């Protein structure tokens, strides 16, 4: 991906300054999670317990970021693992699942590529 900057020296300087501002802002603030351009892979964890039919049906499915909070309203971000979300599929009524919590996970796919594409689009917007 490339960006072409042209014009007078002052215009180029101003444009490069705006691009640097975009980069700095995203470096400091990042992006909110669960945006439409994200792809989240649903992974079951049979090593941690029996996989219920509901979770088995989701196994291997890809959800857009905007679908995750709708489909899994009780989701929980991991404190220690970036780009892994616990969907909490069995919530709020664990009694329907033998009182067993969901052990499944959602993994953000192609995180670096997604962030790079977003940043490039934002840089293009200030050129």
Spatial separation of the C-alpha atoms in residues 95 and 5, rounded to whole Å: 60
Residue 50 lies in a domain: yes
Residue 31 lies in a domain: no
Residue 49 lies in a domain: yes
Size of the chain in residues: 127
Q: What is the pTM of this model?
A: 0.82
Domain enclosing residue 68, as ranges: 39-111
Residue 77 lies in a domain: yes
Residue 19 lies in a domain: no
Residue 124 lies in a domain: no
Residue 123 lies in a domain: no
H/E element, 118: helix 111-125
Average model confidence (pLDDT) for the chain? 91
Strand order in the sheet with 84-86: 62-64, 39-43, 105-109, 84-86, 76-77
pLDDT of 49 reads 79
Residue 99 lies in a domain: yes
What contacts 49, CB < 8 A, 6 or more positions away?
Answer: 100, 103
The band of 109, judged by pLDDT with boundaries at 50, 70 and 90, is very high
Task: Domain count for the chain, please give it.
Answer: 1
Q: What is the pLDDT of residues 33-67, one digit of tens each?
A: 999 999 999 999 988 878 999 999 999 999 999 99
């Amino acid at each position: 991906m490339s960006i072409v900057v042209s014009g007078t020296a002052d215009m180029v300087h101003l444009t490069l300054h705006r691009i640097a501002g975009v980069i700095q802002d995203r470096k400091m603030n990042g992006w909110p999670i669960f945006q439409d351009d994200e792809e989240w892979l649903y992974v079951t964890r049979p090593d941690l317990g029996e996989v219920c039919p509901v979770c088995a049906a989701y196994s291997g499915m890809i959800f857009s970021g905007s679908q995750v909070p709708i489909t899994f309203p009780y989701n929980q971000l991991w404190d220690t693992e970036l780009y892994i979300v616990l969907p909490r599929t069995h919530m709020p009524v664990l009694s329907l699942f033998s009182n067993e919590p969901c052990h499944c996970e959602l993994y953000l796919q192609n995180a670096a590529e997604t962030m790079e594409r977003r940043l490039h689009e934002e840089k293009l917007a200030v050129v």
